[in-house]
Amino acid sequence: MTSSISSQQLFLIVDDQDPSFTFQGNWVTDGGGPWYNPTTHYGTGNFTFSFEGSSVAFIGNSPSKQAYPTPTSRLNYSVSIDNGPFTNASFPSIEGQSPGQAYMQWYTSPTLAPSPSSPGVSGTENVNHTHTVTIAQPQNAAVDMALVTLTESNMPIGIGAKVLVDDADAAVRYEGSWDNVTDSPYLRYSPYPGGYPVMGTTHQAGEVGDCFELRFAGTSVDVYGIWYPSTLSSAKVTLHATLDGTLQSPSDGTQPVGRENEKYQNFLLFSSPALTPAVHTLTITVQGTPMLFILDYITYTPAFATLGEMPVRDIEKGYRGCMGRKEAKMLPVGLIVAVVLGLFTVGMLVIIGVWRYSRKTRARRRMGHGTQQSSSSSSMLSTDYKPITITLIPAEDSDLPPTPIEKDAQTSQYQHQYHYTLNRHADPLSSNRHTDPLASDSDPPDCRSPSCPMQGTVYPHTHSLKDDSPETEALLYYPPRIRSPLSLKPNLVQHHSPAASPPRRKDHLVLL
């Protein structure tokens, strides 16, 4: 049975660079190592940490072997709480290391009671949860982070603070073949000192498809693990992450060049972009892992100000499992946008094509039916033209050069271009008949409106001549967009047939 999320306890993670830390004496800042965020402080002076909460713990490297006077000795340091007297404390012993250095939780305070804000005034509102812990003479131990525990609903969460969710927390729901390591042994890191996971537990996945789900109320989320390849060739793990059902960029856990064979903690496996202040769902799925995927902890920036304001019910009711989620199969946002744009473009092209086809069809219908054409010539007619029959009358004038006629291999016809012009704008009103070969049997309308073709307008046509046709037969292709011209007089054009190779001549094209 799945455990419920606790609203009675919360952990805050505080980096050593946070102003809550005050370092005094000889301290050195180390960056770029296996540290959280990623820096640590080590030295022999004192440091004080101020916080609002119920208790605090410090995590970092314990003193090195050189700090121990004898192999069996234990090193001590001093602790003062809320400006009280200093008391002695000892660094924990390390499994199999006598003595030895380890990355570990080397100090944990007792549960600290709140103090009244105003003496003599009672009530839960009149309490102060602010405390200070001072560590003196830490023997070159390192402090990497502090973990603050909140247990009261009115305990505030500072601006910029981050909540730590341990891998063993009930808020993390696992599916697949995960190994739950509740009491982690000492892990040998390289080239850094070995140590223990944060809070001593991990979840380990070695199968593709293993996944976990986390619901949280925050504005960002980060996932941390332990980098622990068995060989150089296995130093890789590939994860797929979704946030609220949107697939994030796959996280390839390959280390930078020169660090593939290293083993260490606080390895950032996934980091989210900025999120809206709301409840979100994170899923992580193992897609490829020649080595163990070891989850240690998760951090997020909370979208609530106190422990009591955490929306536990909203968080609980949104869990649906991470295996087989429909959202996990969604395409990346960029690919979705590309597909939508592509479909939109195709749709627009189809609409334009249909519009042009409909326009041509309507134009042909408006023109009516022309003179009949033979079935032998219908196969070569363009949909942009209407055929009529014309007669070629030879003329004596031969001052124009010939125009080449190109043969169409499929229709065995010769074609060339010529032009005609409108002879006049319209026939007189008294005229009963019009020379309009494209009109139907009925008289065409009188064309005097501004939309009629004007006198002198030039239009191109194709003159086609078959191999076996007499020179007095040809087809004139008439643009259907011309609306019922009342009188046509083609220009003089030059034509010749390659088969007959006639002399140059100029022909008048006269409409039947």
Domains of the chain, first to last: 10-115+127-329 (2.60.120.260), 375-428+435-511 (no CATH)
Residue in this structure with the two tokens 């002879």, named with its chain if needed: 423
264: three-class secondary structure by DSSP: strand
Give the chain's mean pLDDT.
72
For residue 92, name the pLDDT band (cuts at 50, 70, 90). Answer: confident
176's tokens: 């697949």
Angle at 246 between CA 244 and CA 249, to 5 degrees: 125
Distance CA 484, CA 492 (A): 22
Residue in this structure with the two tokens 């192999």, named with its chain if needed: 71
- 220 CB burial (10 A radius; 0-12, 13-18, 19+): middle
- The per-residue pLDDT for range 353-375, each reduced to its tens digit, is 777 777 666 555 544 444 333 33
Determine contact, residues 251/272, Cβ cutoff 8 Å. Answer: no
Mean pLDDT of 409-413: 43
- Give the least confident one: 8-12, 114-118, 327-331: 327-331
Given a cut of 60, whether residue 400 has pLDDT beyond it is no
Question: Which one has a higher pLDDT value, 31 or 405?
Answer: 31
For residue 392, the model assigns a pLDDT of 35
For residue 239, the model assigns a pLDDT of 87
Mean pLDDT of 26-37: 89
Neighbour count for residue 50 (Cβ, 10 Å): 14
- The per-residue pLDDT for range 141-187, each reduced to its tens digit, is 999 999 999 999 989 998 889 999 999 999 999 999 999 999 888 88
Instruction: Considering only the C-alpha atoms of the chain, give the largest distance between any 2 of them, rounded to a whole number of Å.
Output: 132
Given a cut of 70, whether residue 237 has pLDDT beyond it is yes
14 has which bridge partners? 146
Torsion of CA 28, 33, 35, 36, to 10 degrees: 110
Distance CA 475, CA 472 (A): 10
Quick one: DSSP state of residue 371? S
330's tokens: 């969604």
Beta strand extents in 10-91 (DSSP E only): 10-15, 21-24, 27-31, 39-43, 46-52, 55-61, 76-81, 87-90
Torsion of CA 146, 195, 190, 299, to 10 degrees: -40
For residue 120, the model assigns a pLDDT of 53
205's tokens: 């996945």
Question: Which one has a higher pLDDT value, 49 or 482?
Answer: 49
